[in-house]
Amino acid sequence: MTELDIAGVGIWSPLCSNWKEFRDGIEHGEWQSDVPLKPGLIPPRERRRAPQSVKMAVEVLDQACTMASLDPAKAAVVFSSAMGDMQITDYLCGVLAEPPRLVSPTRFHNSVHNASTGYWSIARETHAPTSAVSALYFTATMAFLEAAIQVLEEDIPVLLVCQEMAAPKALLSACQSNNPISQCVALTRPGFCSDPLASIRFEVEHMKSDWPVLPDQLDNIFNGNPAARMLPLIAAIAGHGMTDSRDEASFKFPLSDGASLNINLKRRKHTTMLT
């Protein structure tokens, strides 16, 4: 197995605005409701024009980068989403179906899959490499593998974003995502960060597997959201299912119809003390 460290985590959903709130929710069931999204990195004028998808990504990227004490100029980004900004896609399809077929230039500009990484690069004034991954329900796993390979081959920290919007009614048959979520993990080589949240070992196995089960309290909320497939891993970092005598967890994430990505996670015991 190949080993990496998880040096930081960022997360946003309608239930939590950051890692502390997510950890409190997992540990005590203390969830928020209708959490506002106000990424401080985006100037107010641009924030008013930026779509929710961009705000989600920039917010969690900033959280993970700050927690890991990473220099944004030296950290690559892998952004992933199965369907991209479905709200804008729905808008574009609606406008183009009726004359005069004039779409908003701003919305068209924000419709591309890598819009979020563009905003991040501008906000952080960084020229570090960025990429975007989409593979429908295998998106999160494919993106994780892409990020891990970049860490190992390019010898650079990588900020991996897995996020999905809520699907509008017209797209529910293609993606049954009822609630948005955005997650970011900072992946580094072992020893790069002096105080990582967890270490992971992973390998690709040519065998079909089922998806890990979501935590009970989140299953009804995020079931059907492709990005939420990574929630069991994020929850394990926060201590879900862990005890003093068992601080490790193993997962099999489908990589395709005939392969899986096997991840063994070892959590650092001080993790629950992090704010």
The answer to whether residues 261 and 194 touch, using CB atoms and an 8 Å cutoff, is no
- This prediction's pTM: 0.94
Q: What is the rounded CA–CA span in Å between residue 42 and residue 40?
A: 6
Residue 188: predicted pLDDT:
98
Alpha-carbon distances of 133 from 47, 79, 178, rounded to whole Å: 24, 6, 21
Amino acid 30: pLDDT: 85
Q: Cα–Cα distance between 163 and 187 in angstroms, integer?
A: 17
pLDDT at 275: 43
Q: Are strands 181-188 and 248-256 parallel, antiparallel or unpaired?
A: unpaired
pLDDT in tens, 39-93: 888 888 888 889 999 999 999 999 999 999 999 999 999 999 999 999 999 999 9
- Measuring CA to CA, how many Å separate 101 from each of 35, 91, 97, 170, 230? 35, 11, 7, 19, 38
Tokens linked to 258: 């005939």
Q: Which of 272, 164, 228, 237 lies closest to 8 in space, CA to CA?
A: 237
What is the pLDDT, as a whole number, of residue 271? 45
Task: Enumerate residue ranges in the chain where pLDDT < 70.
Answer: 243-245, 269-275
Query: Which domains does the chain possess?
Result: 2-195 (3.40.47.10)
Give the model's pLDDT for residue 244. Answer: 62
Q: What is the rounded distance in angstroms from the CA atom of residue 134 to the CA atom of residue 113?
A: 9
Instruction: Report the pLDDT value the prediction gives residue 45, as an integer from 0 to 100.
Output: 81
C-beta separation of 16 from 25 below 8 A = yes
Taking the C-alpha atoms of residue 111 and residue 274, their distance in angstroms, rounded to an integer, is 36
Strand partners, 185: 9, 160
